Amino acid sequence: MDYIKIRFGPGLGRQSSSAVNRALDTIFGNVGPVYQSSRAWRPQMDVYEDKDNIFVIAELAGIDPAELEVELDAAAIRIAGRRAEPPRFEGTRFHLAEIPYGFFERVVYLPSTIDPENVQANIKEGLLVVRLAKRQAQGPTKIRVSGL
């Protein structure tokens, strides 16, 4: 069984790419294999929910689970890792190069708060599935006010 490290921490949203970096990725993302091999790539993801859980699914074919990081905070999930480039044979040349390799990172904002004690992550057949239990809404809390 492969284990995926999940780390909880504050402020994942502050680590996301700036608007300028995202714009450059959009502009130069399809330039060609030389540029793609040197830039971070963005795996495709789905995020959906039912009444009790939020599900995050990431397409990560060829990723070693040991190279995968999953971090959570109150508002976001960060999935990062590295896909190793396969060995190349001497004297070969590309006719098509579309598979991105190297470092990737995605920060996705969650639609509601989660219970960090109730999270499961599993990778199978190239899909990472993270199930995040929603934090149950609690009623109002009374706070005792004391005099000085």
131: left (phi over 0), alpha (psi -120 to 50) or beta: beta
In a domain, 68, yes or no: yes
Q: How many domains does the chain have?
A: 1
Query: How far, in Å, are 137, 139, 140, 141 from residue 144 at the CA level?
Result: 21, 16, 13, 10
Range of the domain at 63: 5-85+92-134
In a domain, 43, yes or no: yes
Q: 10-residue block means of pLDDT along the chain (148 residues)?
A: 65 55 52 43 94 96 92 90 90 89 94 90 95 83 77
In a domain, 14, yes or no: yes
CATH number at residue 60: 2.60.40.790
In a domain, 146, yes or no: no
In a domain, 59, yes or no: yes
In a domain, 148, yes or no: no
pTM: 0.68
Largest pairwise CA distance in the chain: 82
